[in-house]
A = this chain, B = another copy of it.
Amino acid sequence: MSHKKEPVEKRLSETTRLEAFSDGVFAIAITLLVLELIQMLHPQNGDGSLKSFLQHWEPFLAFLIGFLTLLICWINHHHVFNYINKTDSALPWVNGFVLLMITITPFPTAILAQYLDSEGKFALAIFGFNYFMIAIASYWLCAYTYRKHLVDDSSRELFHYIKLTYRYSIVFTGISFFICFISIPIAIVLYLILFGAFAFPKEFAIKLMKLKQKRRKKSPVN
């Protein structure tokens, strides 16, 4: 049957469209965050003067956190799809799980904006749970494409270590989630470390790879 042998270019272009759709979702989610800032200007908050509105610093902090979160997620999504050059029927679903978590992110951001002063720990924990789910989704995307050989063969070794960084991030965000209920400052430090590591995903994966290779050389038996 002729429909089974799709030309290679077509399959490649399918990945392109998946990326374009994902880019759209990321771009919209990151831009919708400003609506929560605008919301703040409504008459019910403050005495009506501009200064009284701008004294609420929580929405600004929440906006910045939401923006950084989504930017880091986009950079990582973009980085991972750099190596994926084939697609199959299930990839839109695996990627769809990542997009679900991206789409919902403005919601915990809005919670953070409104409840950071009154119910800080709970609000931060909801945001932390979101990170945990994003970590699971990102790891699943890597693990699935690695297992199904949808990844560029020449980058397969590096991709293994990229996958590994997301596996670590599940553990890390899982622990941080529980810390949120105990101490906000410690949780914030943990999330800053997380941000630092995944701000440059390629460098992080390469560093991890070199570390593992060095350790392997030291103990060649293992």
Contact = CB atoms under 8 A, between A and B. Distances in A.
Given A43-B44, A104-B63, A158 B28 contact: no
A41 B93 contact: no
Given A3-B158, A23-B20, A82-B14, A41 B74 contact: no
Contact of A23 (B17, B41, B200): B17
A117 to B, nearest CB: 12
B37 A36 contact: no
A33 interface: yes
A24 B78 CA distance: 15
Nearest to A119: B50
Given A67-B100, A75-B92, A155-B3, A38 B199 contact: no
A80 interface: no
Given A2-B155, A50-B111, A23 B21 contact: yes
A55 interface: no
B103 A50 contact: no
B31 A28 contact: yes
B26 A21 contact: yes
B104 A34 contact: yes
A188 to B, nearest CB: 19
Given A50-B119, A67-B100, A100-B67, A27 B24 contact: yes
Contacts of A78: 14, 17, 21, 92
A219 interface: no
A154 B1 CA distance: 9
Contact of A110 (B1, B23, B27, B41): B41
Interface of A: 1-3, 10, 14, 17, 19-21, 23-38, 41, 43-44, 49-51, 63, 67, 71, 74-75, 78, 82, 89-90, 92-93, 96, 99-100, 103-107, 110-111, 114-115, 119, 122-123, 126, 154-155, 157-158, 199-200, 202-203
11 contacts: A2-B157, A3-B157, A21-B74, A24-B24, A24-B28, A32-B32, A38-B107, A67-B100, A74-B92, A75-B93, A89-B203
